[in-house]
Chain A
Amino acid sequence: MKKRMTALALALALVSASMLTGCVKVIKIGEEGKYTGEVEFNAGDDVAAIWEDSALPELNENAVDLTEFLTQSNGDLTTLADDYGKYSMGDSGELSYIVKGTGTVQEVNTESQAGYMAVKLEGYNGTENVRIQIGPVYKASSIRDTLSFIKFGDYKNQGEWAAVSQSINEIVAKDVVEPADPSSLQGKNISFVGAFTVSSGSSDVLITPAVLEVK
């Protein structure tokens, strides 16, 4: 009788042992993706991969000369939407343009965290404020919103979509603005390529730079 109990207990113990541990697969942290098929999203890596090879060439190629653009726009920045602009929602929403130009730096504002350089464009005397963002805070997602090869539908949700823009702006800060040393640019002649988003009710042109060079 005792033996029987022991055997039974042993069998039970084995059953439970096999149930509890036998079929559990231990997966290392960070390797879940291999099993669920879901790759952990990393906006920084994603953006680093596209910046040099795809983003910069497209921005350089599609940039419209800002002096000509503003002259043609004649005060209404939405006029040339069909020719050069890109709307965030196909034919509505936020309107962004890729622009390039040369000019003189009239003011370097670092008082605001959202710092900027005020630029007097070569050959243009209009009233629009042309400003190039120099951070450390960058407003809007102008560069992301002008690129043709990335779209919201490719990302899981709004958070990831926003992270893409944040990563682009980080690259801008590190690879574009920092090497140009904005604080030394007062009064200098510069050339730039960048993107800006039209803000409702204002004619300000706030450019996120992708290329920034002293002439």
Chain B
Amino acid sequence: MKGFKKVLSMLLVAAMIAAMAIGCGAKEEPKEEETKTEEKEEGGDEEVLKGGGSNIIYIITPSVSNPAFKAEADTATAKAEELGYEVKAVSHDDDPTKQTELFDSAIADKAAAIICDNAGADATVEAVKKAREAGIPTFLIDREINAEGVAISQIVANNYQGAKAIAEKFVEAMGEKGKYVELLGKESDTNAGVRSQAFHEVIDQYPDMEMVAQQTANWEKTEAYDKMEAMLQANPDIEGVICGNDTMLEGVCAALDAAGKTLPVIGVDGSDEAAALIKSGQATGTALQQFAVIAEMAVVQADKYLKEGSTGADEKQLVDCIAITSENVDKLSGFVFTE
């Protein structure tokens, strides 16, 4: 009995060593399979998705408490209804888990197509893939994802260009020098990083511009008000403020107003609230993201794709932002710029 155990343990040990030796060689195989499936996916680009079978278009956006996303959702809904679709407009509140659930609902509803302003450049890829496997084409709006060949269209607001353009106006308003602070958007949102990076790509080239504080206010107005108040106390000599979006810009302008100050302030989005502050001279400018234009483009492309099997456009399409200042603010209303 003792001898048998010994043999058994020896055998086990031998098996383990063998596993160690071969184990790594065997790992190469799944890799080959991976490349094969990748090829298949790439080849599958040609394959036309027919939609899930129903006449429902899902419109998934961030929280519509932000007027920009409300404009986006409303425009997409109106256009889709006009084209004869039933619409389910829902919000993922920038929570990737909730977004996945919403994609699952769309799949369960056999949606014809999904229009989505997504909750994360990496987190969204899987959800869009899953819809694709169910035959449902996804059309991404506003924000892009870090994968191609998964969604049918990615109609991206060029945040980088917009933030750079308005940052140039900010530097001009500051006379190329002075202390300023930055309010960042929600970290999980790719655009928070993109906008901040673009701001700094411009501003950091000016040696006399000095950022004395940088905090997140999560895209929120009241949070921006509180943070601005605190930053003003810590740095009473602040000469300018850059904000990742217009709701934070509203909070900042209110806090500055309460402190009896008017400084150069910029935001991004192009909301009517920001436009009013630009007109009254309390804010310098904003970068209009053409939410309405983008939303409508996506619905039109979805409809065309479902009917003709092609959108006739590249997957990745960039839609420029427009720098809005006191010079052209009169042409802006409801996220639409009329030349």
Task: Contacts A94-B320, A162-B164 given; indicate if A22 touches B24 (C-beta within 8 A).
Answer: yes
Stretch at the interface among A8-16, A42-50, A58-66, A67-75: A8-16
Contact assessment for B205 and A141 in the assembled complex, using a CB-CB cutoff below 8 Å: no
Instruction: Give the chain B neighbours of A94 by CB distance below 8 A.
Output: 161, 320
- Which residue from chain A places its CB closest to the CB of B208 in the assembled complex? A113
Interface segment, A126-134, A153-161, A176-184?
A153-161
CB distance from B179 to the nearest CB of A (A): 17
A3-24 vs B, CB cutoff 8 Å, 1 = contact: the mask equals 1100110110011011000110
Q: Give CA–CA (A94, B320) in the complex, Å.
A: 7
0/1 string, B196-234, CB within 8 A of A gives 1? 011001100111000000000000000000000000000
Write out, one digit per residue, whether chain A residues 141-163 have a CB within 8 A of any chain B CB (1) or not (0). Answer: 10000000001110011110110
CA distance in complex: A137, B200 (Å)? 12
Residues facing B in A88-119 (CB within 8 A) are 88-89, 93-94, 112-114
Give, as a whole number of angstroms, the nearest-CB distance from A181 to chain B.
21
A99 CB, min distance to chain B CBs, angstroms: 21
In Å, the complex CA distance between A166 and B164 comes to 12
Residue of A nearest to B165 (CB): A140
A156 to B161, CA, bound (A): 15
Give the size range of B's interface with the partner: 35 or more
Q: Is the CB of B16 within 8 A of A158?
A: no
Is there a chain A Cβ closer than 8 Å to B23's Cβ?
yes
Q: Which residue of B lies closest to A200 (CB)?
A: B328
Q: How far is the CB of A86 from chain B (nearest CB, A)?
A: 13
Task: Tell me whether A215 is interfacial, beta carbon within 8 Å.
Answer: no
B146 touches A88 (CB 8 A): no
Verify B318–A152 contact, CB threshold 8 A.
yes
A-chain residues with CB within 8 Å of residue B160 when the two chains form the complex: 158-159, 161-162
B144 near A158 with CB under 8 A, answer: yes
CA distance A42 to B121 in the complex (A): 20
Contact B205 A22 (CB under 8 A): no
A89 touches B319 (CB 8 A): yes
> What are the residues of chain A within 8 A of B206 when measuring CB–CB?
113, 137
CB contact between B319 and one of A93, A112, A136, A141 (< 8 Å): that residue? A93
Q: Is B159 an interface residue (CB 8 A)?
A: yes
Flag if A14 contacts B17 (CB, 8 Å): yes
Q: Is the CB of B9 within 8 A of A7?
A: yes
A11 and B16 contacting across the interface, CB-CB below 8 Å: yes
Q: Which residue of A lies closest to B318 (CB)?
A: A152
Residue in A10, A25, A112, A158 whose CB lies within 8 Å of B194: A158
Select B322's contact among A137, A141, A159, A200, beta carbons within 8 Å. Answer: A200
Chain A residue contacts of B328, Cβ below 8 A: 200-201
Whether A7 contacts B5 in the complex (CB less than 8 A), given A89-B317, A136-B205, A201-B328, comes out as yes
18 contacts between A and B (CB under 8 A): A3-B2, A7-B5, A7-B10, A7-B13, A8-B9, A22-B20, A23-B23, A37-B35, A88-B320, A93-B319, A137-B206, A151-B314, A157-B121, A158-B158, A159-B194, A161-B160, A200-B323, A200-B328
Known A23-B23, A201-B327; 10 more pairs at CB < 8 Å: A14-B17, A18-B19, A22-B23, A25-B24, A25-B27, A152-B318, A157-B146, A159-B160, A161-B160, A162-B160
Residues of B at the A interface (CB closer than 8 Å) are 2, 5-6, 9-10, 12-13, 16-17, 19-20, 23-24, 27, 35, 121, 144, 146, 156, 158-161, 164, 168, 176, 194, 197-198, 201-202, 205-207, 314-320, 322-323, 327-328, 339
